[in-house]
A and B are shown apart, each in its own frame.
Chain A
Amino acid sequence: MELLRPSSPEEATGALGNGSRALAGGTELVPLIRDGLVKADTLVEIRDVVPRGVTGTRIGAGTTLAELELDGEIPQALREACAQAASPQLRSMGTIGGNLLQATRCWYWRLGFDCWLHGGETCFARDGAQREHAVFGNDKCASAHPSDIAAALLALGATLRTTRREFAVAELYRLPTDDDRNVTTLAPDELILEIELTTPDASTYLKAMDRRKWSFPIVGVAAARFGGETRIALAGVAPIPWLLDSVAILDEATPLPGTGYKVEIARALVRRAIEAI
Chain B
Amino acid sequence: MKKTVLNAAHQRHGARLVEFGGFEMPVWYSGLTEEHHAVRQRAGVFDLCHMGRFEIVGDDPVAALDRVVTQDVSRMKKGQVRYSLVCNDEGGVLDDILIYRLPDRLWLVVNAGNRQKLLHWFGERLVGAKVIDHSEDLAMVALQGPLACSLLAPHIDRAHHRAVADLGYYRISRAQVKLTGTPIDGWISRTGYTGEDGFELYIPSGSAESVFDALLDLSDEVIPCGLGCRDTLRLEAGMPLYGHELSEQQDPIGAGLSFGVSLDKEGGFIGEPALREVVARGPRRQLRGFVVEGKRPARQGAVILHDSRPVGVVTSGSPSPTLGVPIACGYVDSSVSEEAPLEVDLRGKSAPLSPHPLPFYRRTAETAHSE
Q: A and B from one assembly?
A: no
